[in-house]
Amino acid sequence: MKILVAAKRVVDYAVKIRVKPDRSGVETQNVKMSMNPFCEIALEEALRIKEAGLASEVVAVSMGPAQCVDTLRTGLAMGADRGIHVDSSAALYPLTVAKLLKALVEVEKPGLLILGKQAIDDDCNQTGQMVAGLLGWPQGTFASKVLLDKEKQVATVEREVDGGLETLCLDLPAVITTDLRLNQPRYATLPNIMKAKSKVIEKYTPEDLNVELKSDLEVVEVTEPPKRKAGVTVSSVEELIDKLKNEADVI
């Protein structure tokens, strides 16, 4: 069985972002970019499944401008066998990404597709669900535990839901999206980074995959959120209780 993992290049999670003065978006020039943390977790899970002898190959996919190849190299250095880059300079919304992934699934025929539950830039939390819908595959979203049964061709997925954990049993092939607690992604070692340079990255364009980049959403403007007014520092518990009672009127 082959596993396909989707990885997105995003502004590093630790960066304090800046909104562009013309309100067209967020500054991404000269800003540190990394693999989306949830995608790292997705890739780590795929590698662990392969290491357990339940998968034969892990293929990492990234979509977007040329620099996405760096994200793929990171994935290859972590242990993915090969990469696929779908080259597009246009803004890609989750619906388009899902359609491109569906087209790649038809080429690659994986038994499992693993994605992060959301990208930390657009915070959409949609792509995995959408590609599962398009493929007619079952979905295990927000996974915190994945158990594969090769004989029965099923995946048992524990999901993080409101109010606790839910366990589902999915027939393979399936789509899984990862939550934070699924695993701890590994670091790429220097020898592996060197090795990754000789691994293959295939290139596709949306036209090759017969996917039309229609976009039914337009960004009108991006603004900074309202700033909270500066607070005060109190010196004692009494003062805190007094302020909460008489000034803020919340207790």
Partner 1 sequence: MAMLIRAIKCCTTLSRFSSLPFAFRSVSTLVLAEHEGGAIKAPSVSAVEATKSLGGDNTVSVLLAGSGPSLHEAAARAASCHPSISQVFVADSDTFTHPLAEPWARLVHLVQQRGRYTHIVAASNSFGKNILPRAAALLDVSPVTDVISLCGSSQFVRPIYAGNALCTVRYAGTNPCMLTIRSTSFPIPAQIADSKSNAAPISQVDLSTFDEDCASKSRYVKHTSQDKERPDLGNARVVVTGGRGLRSAENFKLIEKLAEKLGAAVGATRAAVDAGFVPNDLQVGQTGKIVAPELYMAFGVSGAIQHIAGMRDSKVIVAVNKDADAPIFQVADYGLVGDLFEVIPELLEKFPEKK
Structure tokens at 246: 């008489």
Contacts of 118 (CB under 8 A, 6+ apart): 38, 124, 125
* Cβ 96 to partner 1 shortest distance, Å: 9
Structure tokens at 29: 């020039």
Helix (H, G, I), strand (E, B) or coil at 72: helix
What is the enclosing helix (H) or strand (E) of 194?
A: helix 190-196
Examine residue 178 and tell whether it contacts partner 1 (CB under 8 A). Answer: no
Contact 137, 174 (CB under 8 A): yes
Query: 36 or 72: whose CB is closer to partner 1?
Result: 36
Examine residue 226 and tell whether it contacts partner 1 (CB under 8 A). Answer: yes
Contact 77, 21 (CB under 8 A): no
Query: Which residues in the 200-219 window bind partner 1 by CB under 8 A?
Result: 215-219
Distance CA 155, CA 173 (A): 9
Distance CA 175, CA 223 (A): 34
* Cβ 131 to partner 1 shortest distance, Å: 7
Contact 115, 127 (CB under 8 A): yes
Examine residue 168 and tell whether it contacts partner 1 (CB under 8 A). Answer: yes
Phi, psi of 17 (to 5 degrees): -75, 155
* Cβ 133 to partner 1 shortest distance, Å: 4
Give the range of 61-69, 77-85, 104-112, 124-132 binding partner 1 by CB under 8 A.
124-132
Q: Tell which one of 35, 146, 170, 176 touches partner 1 (CB under 8 A).
A: 170
Examine residue 13 and tell whether it contacts partner 1 (CB under 8 A). Answer: yes
Distance CA 74, CA 88 (A): 20
Give the range of 13-21, 52-60, 61-69, 204-212 binding partner 1 by CB under 8 A.
13-21
Query: Which residues in the 143-162 window bind partner 1 by CB under 8 A?
Result: 144, 156, 159-162
**Residue 4 burial (CB count, 10 A):** 26
Examine residue 221 and tell whether it contacts partner 1 (CB under 8 A). Answer: yes
Q: Tell which one of 57, 121, 153, 202 touches partner 1 (CB under 8 A).
A: 121
* Cβ 238 to partner 1 shortest distance, Å: 7
Examine residue 26 and tell whether it contacts partner 1 (CB under 8 A). Answer: yes
Binding mask 69-108 for partner 1 (x = CB under 8 A): ------------------------xxx--x----------
Angle CA 184–163–165, to nearest 5: 45
Contact 196, 188 (CB under 8 A): yes
Examine residue 176 and tell whether it contacts partner 1 (CB under 8 A). Answer: no
Give the range of 39-47, 71-79, 186-194, 235-243 binding partner 1 by CB under 8 A.
235-243
